[in-house]
Structure 1
Amino acid sequence: MSRVYGLTGGIASGKTTVLDIFKKNGCKTYDADQVARQVVVPGSVGLREITKQFSKHILSTDGSLDRKKLGRIVFSDRRQLRKLTGITGLLIRKQILKMISDMKKDPDPVINIFEIPLLFEGKYQSYFDATISIYLDPQIQLKRLMKRNNLDEVAAKKKIESQMSMDQKRLLADFSIDNSQDLTHLETEILQLLKKL
């Protein structure tokens, strides 16, 4: 029977790399960010509601959502961000729960890994067979984020501090993966974990 595991980790913890390694080793992988994009495609209820709330100025010329324009509105005003989350949050959750339910119905003995950055914050853990959290040394996380997003130390620390800590996620998770070292070490960690899943 199909098993479904929730994967999470802090910003710049290597979630995409970890997901790719699981996929390379025969797991089916899913990404909550893709779901977030799906619920606002042209013609969707999500995009209609967002346009109603924020006007047609947030659309590109082809009718798709202009994320940069919307970002400028919502990230400078908490109330606007709450309005956006109120629209998309429920749609994303509904879609994620439907996907998990469909995975669990699959009679094949498949391991499904569903990456959700806000897994614990969104209280998704009870829907999974178990949860996995990626952990790395906080100094390495800071350096990776600064390099990846071209941020200074102050801005990078602010981004990290705005999220649930990796220590907290690791305590809440059933399993953890250490991504403090190189890719070879990470692959070894994941292969050892797969034997337990």
Structure 2
Amino acid sequence: MILGLTGGIATGKSTVAAMLKERGAVLIDADQVARDVVEPGTEGLERIRERFGNGVIQEDGRLNRAALGKIIFKDEALRKELNRLLHPLIMEEMQQRTGSALAKNPHAIVIWDVPLLIEENLTQFVEKVIVVYVPESVQLQRLMKRNALSEEEARERMAAQLSIEEKKRVADFVIDNSDSLEMTERQVDQLWNYLTLKSGSNQP
């Protein structure tokens, strides 16, 4: 069983991902995969070198993220081009890891942890979508506190993503993370029990 996990900035997606992993889910983190596909010696890093030059590669052969960031930060066309170069490699790696997990255990519950699951139209690759939700007012307060941002800065960052209310409408399962951690744990337990039943898994 393959599920997509997403949420909005500062809604607590990473917290819920960790809870699901604790319970036995195979977690495939898109951000981590994106880092792995540009490690030294990878095709991803070579694609970046060919397009952006040796100036974005450090002396030790690793990607210089700061240098690349400066190039693409203010140029949306270049940012899209970088995504076009790396996106197929990221998807291929995620599907490969999913295949390996299911080959080891056909009843495995595989969670794709993808911040832009809905925006990037990746829901087609998963059976169900889990959205970690908090009301936008709570999201705003948490983001301001977590990143020491002004209200205007926080709203700008929230506006860069699909709103959490829109994401909630796409969800098959919603984990409301606006209350205590215990309440979130309880919802994750309920979801996990349902998923293990559906997948035929004998995991505890």
- Same fold (TM > 0.5): yes
Identify the residue that residue 88 of structure 2 maps to in structure 1. 90
Q: What one-letter code is carried by the residue in structure 1 that aligns with 2:96?
A: K
Aligned partners of 2:58, 2:148: CA distance in 1, in Å? 26
Aligned partners of 1:66, 1:150: CA distance in 2, in Å? 26
Deviations 1:28-76 (A, max 9, x none): 2121101100111111111111112111111222111111221121111
Q: Which structure 2 residues correspond to residues 132-143 of structure 1 after superposition, within 5 A?
A: 132-143=130-141
Identify the residue that residue 26 of structure 1 maps to in structure 2. 24
Asked whether the equivalents of residues 100 and 127 of structure 1 are also in contact (C-alpha less than 8 Å), the reply is no
Identify the residue that residue 149 of structure 2 maps to in structure 1. 151
Aligned partners of 1:156, 1:59: CA distance in 2, in Å? 32
Aligned partners of 2:100, 2:18: CA distance in 1, in Å? 22
Identify the residue that residue 15 of structure 1 maps to in structure 2. 13
Q: Which structure 2 residues correspond to residues 34-183 of structure 1 after superposition, within 5 A?
A: 34-183=32-181
Of 44-53 and 119-128, more deviation after overlay is shown by 119-128
Aligned partners of 2:52, 2:38: CA distance in 1, in Å? 13
Asked whether the equivalents of residues 28 and 97 of structure 2 are also in contact (C-alpha less than 8 Å), the reply is no
Deviation at 1:139, TM superposition (A): 1.6
Aligned partners of 1:60, 1:151: CA distance in 2, in Å? 31
Deviation at 1:108, TM superposition (A): 4.3
Aligned partners of 2:107, 2:89: CA distance in 1, in Å? 29
**Root mean square deviation, CA, Å:** 1.6
Q: What one-letter code is carried by the residue in structure 2 that aligns with 1:86?
A: R
Deviation at 1:103, TM superposition (A): 3.5
Helix, strand or coil at the partner of 1:64 = coil
Percent same amino acid among aligned pairs?
38
Unaligned runs of 5+ in 2: 196-204
Aligned partners of 1:129, 1:77: CA distance in 2, in Å? 35
Aligned partners of 1:51, 1:30: CA distance in 2, in Å? 26
Q: From 2, 5, 8, give the equivalent of 1:4.
A: 2
Aligned partners of 1:101, 1:172: CA distance in 2, in Å? 25
Unaligned runs of 5+ in 1: none
Asked whether the equivalents of residues 137 and 180 of structure 1 are also in contact (C-alpha less than 8 Å), the reply is yes
Deviation at 1:109, TM superposition (A): 2.4
Asked whether the equivalents of residues 4 and 104 of structure 1 are also in contact (C-alpha less than 8 Å), the reply is no
Aligned partners of 1:67, 1:110: CA distance in 2, in Å? 34
Identify the residue that residue 192 of structure 2 maps to in structure 1. 194
The count of aligned residue pairs is: 195
Helix, strand or coil at the partner of 1:113 = strand
Deviation at 1:189, TM superposition (A): 1.1
